[in-house]
Amino acid sequence: MRHRWTRIALATCIAAALAAPGAGHETAEGESKPFRGPLKPDQPLARGYNDAAKALAMVDDNPLIRWEYRVWCETGYRSVSDAGTGQEVDTPADVTRDMVSPKGFFHTGHARELFTPGGVRFLDNAWYFGANGLGVVVVKTDEGLLLFDTMGTPEEFDKAVLSEMPAAGLDPKDITHVFVGHYHWDHTGGVNTVRKLAPKAKVVITEPDARIIDTARRTLLAGQPVEPANALASPRAKPKTAEEAAALRDLRLRSIPDRFDILVTAAPGLKTGLQAIRTGPSTEVFAMLTPGHTPGQMAVVVPVKHQGGVRNLLIMSGNDQPDEAAQYAISTDYLRSAAAQLGADTLINTHPYQSAMYYHLRQLKADPAAPNPFAMGVDGVNRFLGIYADCQRATKQRLQDGTWLGF
Ligand SMILES: [Zn+2]
């Protein structure tokens, strides 16, 4: 790992912005620098990858797909505190579609805004709860509720999810499965809470990320410095007194999952894997191990309903990781192929600043009849993932060529 950033992803910055007062305040300032470009024109290979992604983006006017290309290929990954570098993205042609701004592609202030009351029902039986920057997805099946990701701390989970579910007619006690998208603390904070509320609920995670969390928990209990730090709540908190240190340790112990039930593993000889998980007599979920953002990043495909018809929702968790761009591209190719075979035709990310999803969720909350870009069709999901993979390849090449800058 070349840079500290590899262990402190933007996901963590956003979650820090959402953290409850007293939970250890952090700011985005000084933590990390985004990679950025172009400093020089692309060399041929990077240009080729960029153009391949662009070709996919230009045949589809779905706003999530266009954003994917603009941000991941044209502008790079930006810190929320980045003032902008005068690139095209700084003066977007259509802010209602791209939601980028002179201060980067996302504003910290917007990150905290919760979807209240009752989250947003973005499909017939699927809801998003949380804030613009970070949240969870709940799918209601005939056998109960499936939960994807769990916010950063029990308090955040309580406030953003549990207290909002009743307004949507959902009872947290009905949760049968919790899917943890990756090990970073801003996705794992509510796992222990769900166990208490719904003791029979099964927690699903990948084997590589379960191992990281288990090691972090044991190290924390032994009183030793935890690596990677972002496995624990408020990773950059620096307590000044013994009381603050004790409160932080308590928060971290409550926020780190104490065990898992189902581990998704790699296929023999590969770093990627796929596992079918029957969550009830009528529901099967496909969980895919796709290392990139973390060694055990997971995506799932779950059957849902939309406008009365059956659809297959791909739920992603996590964002970029330029130092792992080569593996990320391989994993995304794998995910693209698996998603196509599984008929994934609808897509969401539990970090909905990605692709400006939060903007479209807001539109749907205000008017359920608004256009629903999440239901993009099998071809749309295929293009979306193709763009992501090609932009990862372009990123790797640009960093290698020195035409874009690392951290
Ligand atoms: Zn993350």
- Condensed to tens digits (0 to 9), the pLDDT of residues 280-311 reads 999 999 999 999 999 999 999 999 999 999 99
More confident residue, 27 or 164: 164
pLDDT at residue number 241? 97
Which three-class secondary structure string do you get for the chain? CCCHHHHCCHHHHHHHHHCCCCCCCCCCCCCCCCCECCCCCCCHHHHHHHHHHHHHHHCCCCHHHHHHHHHHHHHCCCCCCCCCCCCHHHCCCCHHHHCCECCECCCHHHHCCECCCCCEEEECCEEEEEECCCEEEEEEECCEEEEECCCCCHHHHHHHHHCCCHHHCCCHHHEEEEECCCCCHHHCCCHHHHHHHCCCCEEEEEHHHHHHHHHHHHHHHCCCCCCCHHHCCCCCCCCCCHHHHHHHHHHHHHHCCCCCCEEECCCCCCCCEEEEEEEECCEEEEEEECCCCCCCCEEEEEEEEECCEEEEEEEECCCCCHHHHHHHHHHHHHHHHHHHHCCCCEEEECCCCHHHHHHHHHHHHHCCCCCCCCCCHHHHHHHHHHHHHHHHHHHHHHHHHCCCECC
**Dist. CA 210 → ligand 1 center (Å):** 14
Using pLDDT thresholds of 50, 70 and 90, give the confidence band for residue 66. Answer: confident
pLDDT for the residue numbered 136 = 98
Mean of pLDDT values over 78-94: 49
Distance CA 380, CA 347 (A): 9
Question: What residues contact 211, with CB distance under 8 A and at least 6 apart?
Answer: 296
pLDDT value at residue 76: 63
CA of 183 to the centre of ligand 1 (A): 7
At 30 the pLDDT is: 34
Tell how far the Cα of 201 is from the centroid of ligand 1, in angstroms. 23
Ligand 1 center from residue 118 Cα (angstroms): 25
pLDDT given for residue 141 in this prediction = 97
- Given a cut of 60, whether residue 326 has pLDDT beyond it is yes
What is the 137 CA–ligand 1 centroid distance (Å)?
16
Q: Report the pLDDT value the prediction gives residue 165, as an integer from 0 to 100.
A: 98
4-401 — its CATH code? 3.60.15.10
372 CA to middle of ligand 1, Å? Answer: 26
Answer with the residue of higher pLDDT: 200 or 34: 200
Q: Which two tokens stand for residue 382?
A: 């295929």
Measured in Å, residue 142 CA sits from the centre of ligand 1 at 31
Residue with tokens 């972002």: 230
- Is residue 239 reached through a cis peptide bond, with omega within 30 degrees of 0 on the bond before it? no
- What whole-number distance in Å separates Cα of residue 98 and Cα of residue 67? 6
Where residue 13 falls among pLDDT bands split at 50, 70, 90? very low
Could you tell me the distance, in angstroms and rounded to a whole number, from the CA of residue 175 to the centre of ligand 1? 23
Distance 252 CA to ligand 1 centre (A): 17
Check whether 82 has a pLDDT greater than 70: no
Mean pLDDT of the chain: 85
pLDDT at 174: 98
Label residue 115 exposed, middle or buried (CB < 10 Å: 0-12, 13-18, 19+): buried
More confident residue, 104 or 60: 60
Q: How many angstroms does the Cα of residue 336 sit away from the middle of ligand 1?
A: 20
User: What is the 367 CA–ligand 1 centroid distance (Å)?
Assistant: 31
Share of the chain above pLDDT 90, in %: 69
- Whether residue 3 is predicted with pLDDT greater than 80 in this model: the reply is no
C-alpha 126 to ligand 1 mean position (Å):
22
pLDDT of residue 180: 98
Q: CA distances (Å), 328 to each of 39, 290, 390, in order? A: 23, 8, 10
In whole angstroms, give the CA distance from residue 135 to residue 147: 11
Tell me how far the alpha carbon of residue 282 lies from the centroid of ligand 1, in angstroms: 31
Alpha carbon of 399 to ligand 1 centroid (Å): 21
Q: How far is the CA of 235 from the centre of ligand 1 (A)?
A: 12
- Which residues make Cβ contacts (< 8 Å) with residue 261, sequence separation at least 6? 202, 203, 204
**What is the distance in A from the centroid of ligand 1 to the CA of 128?**
18
Q: Ligand 1 centre and the CA of 44: distance in Å?
A: 31
Q: Which pLDDT score is estimated for 72?
A: 82
The alpha carbon of 25 and the centre of ligand 1 are apart by a number of angstroms equal to 18
- Give the span between the Cα atoms of 181 and 34, in whole angstroms: 23
Q: Which residues pair with 139 in a beta bridge?
A: 126, 146
Q: Using pLDDT thresholds of 50, 70 and 90, give the confidence band for residue 78.
A: low
The whole-number average pLDDT for the span 325-352 is 97
pTM over 0.85, yes/no:
yes
For residue 41, report the distance from its CA to the centre of ligand 1, in Å.
30
Distance in Å, CA 318 to ligand 1 centroid: 5
* Ligand 1 mean position, distance from CA 106 (Å): 16
Those residues with Cβ within 8 angstroms of residue 4's Cβ, 6 or more apart along the chain or in another chain = 32, 407
CB-count burial class (<10 Å; 0-12, 13-18, 19+) for 2: exposed
The dihedral built from the CA positions of residue 23, 27, 28 and 32, taken in this order, carries a sign that is negative
Instruction: Evaluate if residue 27 carries a pLDDT over 80.
Output: no
CA of 12 to the centre of ligand 1 (A): 6
In this predicted structure, what is the pLDDT of residue 101?
A: 47
pLDDT tens, 108-162? 567 788 999 999 999 999 999 999 889 999 999 999 999 999 999 999 999 999 9
Q: How far is the CA of 184 from the centre of ligand 1 (A)?
A: 5
When pLDDT is averaged across residues 237-254 and rounded to a whole number, the result is 96
Indicate if the pLDDT at residue 85 is higher than 90.
no
pLDDT band for position 390 (cuts 50, 70, 90): very high
CA 11 / ligand 1 centre spacing (Å): 5
**C-alpha 307 to ligand 1 mean position (Å):** 32
